[in-house]
Chains A and B, each alone.
Chain A
Amino acid sequence: AQSVTQLGSHVSVSEGALVLLRCNYSSSVPPYLFWYVQYPNQGLQLLLKYTSAATLVKGINGFEAEFKKSETSFHLTKPSAHMSDAAEYFCAVSVVTYKYIFGTGTRLKVLA
């Protein structure tokens, strides 16, 4: 069975500091991995996705994530946080089935 674990339900960083949001997955077959962002009272917006073409994936708004098979991880990073990055971030895994499995989310707070 596939699953996703997001470490840290809340993360706070200072504006301009590195953002690191952690995601570990469990899958018996090569997974497809996604990061979505959800702003208050909105739906989910795709940030980036891993589909085995490259282990380092670049997404929108300066975010990127690196797939590490040996660590079963797909952590999301951004070199310099901006106030507008404050939101909830969800990691998701999908295999050749009909659904995505989402983590419980990490709420990012950016401090001025």
Chain B
Amino acid sequence: DAGVTQSPTHLIKTRGQHVTLRCSPISGHKSVSWYQQVLGQGPQFIFQYYEKEERGRGNFPDRFSARQFPNYSSELNVNALLLGDSALYLCASSLGPTGGQNTIYFGEGSWLTVV
């Protein structure tokens, strides 16, 4: 079975532009979470969606938004890109709502460079 798949794997954007990152969860998983990993740090929680509803949001500005589609895939959108948004964006999926003992499984990530 395929794991969590993310696209694109690498992209370069200019300050002020907008970016859309995509994620397909493991088959049967209904929860998708997004994390940002800045170089040299651990992943920081951005959003969680379960059954197409936002279940949680991390401490990120409103420039960050996401949604989950009926097939449980998800998009992360970032508007008005800043240099500080350069990071690895990780998508993770789980069977049920993330949290507690539900294990989350990560994709390979999307490397975003803002210049």
Q: Which of A95, A102, A103, A104 contacts B99 (CB 8 A)?
A: A95
Q: Give the interface size class of chain B.
A: 20 to 34
Q: Is B98 an interface residue (CB 8 A)?
A: yes
Q: Decide: A98 and B99 in contact? CB cutoff 8 A.
A: yes
Could you tell me the distance in whole angstroms from the C-beta of B81 to the nearest C-beta in chain A? 22
Contacts of B90 in A (CB 8 A): 43-44
* The stretch of B13-21, B66-74, B106-114 that contacts the partner chain: B106-114
Q: Decide: B101 and A90 in contact? CB cutoff 8 A.
A: no
Could you tell me the distance in whole angstroms from the C-beta of B55 to the nearest C-beta in chain A? 5
Q: Decide: A96 and B33 in contact? CB cutoff 8 A.
A: no
Q: Decide: B103 and A49 in contact? CB cutoff 8 A.
A: yes
Q: Is B28 an interface residue (CB 8 A)?
A: no
- A105 and B55 contact, Cβ closer than 8 Å, known pairs A51-B101, A98-B97, A99-B99: no
Q: Is A34 an interface residue (CB 8 A)?
A: yes
Q: Decide: B107 and A99 in contact? CB cutoff 8 A.
A: no
Q: Decide: A100 and B105 in contact? CB cutoff 8 A.
A: no
In B1-58, the 8 Å CB interface with A consists of 4, 33, 35, 40-45, 48, 50, 55-56, 58
Q: Which residues of A contact B (CB under 8 A)?
A: 32, 34, 36, 42-46, 49, 51, 90, 92, 94-105
Given A99-B56, A102-B42, A105-B40, 11 extra CB contacts under 8 A: A32-B100, A42-B109, A44-B43, A44-B90, A49-B103, A94-B101, A95-B99, A98-B48, A99-B98, A102-B43, A102-B44
